[in-house]
Amino acid sequence: MFFPIVLDALNITCDHGVTEVKHQKTQPEQYIVKFDNSSTMLIFKSGKFRVMGNGDPPTTIINILSVLGQFTEAIPTVTMQTMTGVYGYERKIHLGRLSEVTDSLLDLENFPAVQIKKFKPVHVNVFSSGCVILCGLKTIDSGNYIKSYLDSIISDCFINDS
């Protein structure tokens, strides 16, 4: 349930975890609210909002309600979208070897990483630097599961430092 908001009329205060509030008047017009857990809430004049960044779901809900409660009694339905996970191995990875030991796509002319296909719809990209990016995670547990799988096959793909 969304309703249009006159952003000029909002007066959101810096308390209950809110560290900074800014009304951005250039396009797209929006209210930017920063929290002490490094997450950011964007409020649009349509009444819709988005929260990005750090924060566990309960803290995020509390942050949303503390801000929205300053100008409405309506309680919104909050839908969690997806997360991106990033971690790294301490060693460089031979991408050719990795692409041979798992269901993957390796097309170095177009993308500098092995794309692991086993976990669709999550996009798992492993770079030769050792960096791994997991896009589209719904839960942290699924990220840990993917990491455990990669940990079990990656050691044979490390490049020996000579």
Per residue in 107-145, pLDDT (tens digit) is 998 889 999 999 999 999 999 999 999 988 988 899 999
Please report which confidence band the pLDDT of residue 17 belongs to, taking 50, 70 and 90 as the band edges. confident
- Cα Rg, the chain, nearest whole Å: 21
Q: Which helix (H) or strand (E) holds 132?
A: strand 131-137
Q: How far apart are CA 152 and CA 103, in angstroms?
A: 14
- In the chain, the largest separation of any two C-alpha atoms, in whole Å, equals 64
Report the pLDDT value the prediction gives residue 2, as an integer from 0 to 100.
65
Report the pLDDT value the prediction gives residue 151, as an integer from 0 to 100.
97
Amino acid at 37: N
50-102 per-position pLDDT tens digit: 888 877 778 888 888 888 888 888 788 887 777 889 999 999 999 999 999 99
Question: What is the pLDDT averaged over residues 8-20?
Answer: 83
Q: What are phi and psi of 114, to 5 degrees?
A: -85, 130
Q: Is the pLDDT of residue 32 over 60?
A: yes
**Is the domain defined by 83-157 classed in CATH 3.30.310.10?**
yes
> What are the C-alpha distances in Å from 25 to residues 32, 48, 116?
11, 16, 42
Query: What are the helix (H) ranges across 2-43?
Result: none
Number of H helices, E strands in the chain: 3, 9
Looking at the chain, which residues constitute the CATH 3.30.310.10 domain(s)? 83-157
Q: Is the pLDDT of residue 1 over 60?
A: no
Q: How far apart are CA 35 and CA 33, in angstroms?
A: 7
Residue 47: CB atoms within 10 Å: 15
Closest by CA position to 7, among listed 27, 28, 30: 30
Q: Is the pLDDT of residue 159 over 90?
A: yes
